[in-house]
Amino acid sequence: MPAISRFLGIAIAILYRDHDPPHFHAIYGDYEITVNIVDGAVNGRFPRRALAYVMEWHQQHREELMLDWEQARRHQPLSPIPPLE
């Protein structure tokens, strides 16, 4: 799964063949969640602190995530998104 961002041991990816609603995947060790780009709804389990980092990053990069989601729908290359600072 190619990552569009990596920070603090967390990899973030958008899959080309994924389904609506717009979302991204976050992976941390053996944990994986999906996060709805529009409303921030989370599916899956993640350690509390790692989840807080992902949600903070999501708030900072919502527009870029939607652009990458649209690129994936068109099967075009995704743009990297800066990590959480």
8-61 pLDDT per residue, tens: 999 999 999 999 999 999 999 999 999 999 999 999 999 999 999 999 999 999
Q: Which amino acid is at 76?
A: Q
Residue in the block written with tokens 């990053």: 57
Whether the pLDDT of residue 71 is over 70: the answer is: yes
Residue in the block written with tokens 């990458």: 68
Dist CA 45 CA 34 (whole Å): 9
pLDDT score of 83: 97
* Eight-class DSSP state of 21: S
Coil, strand or helix: which one is 32? strand
pLDDT score of 60: 97
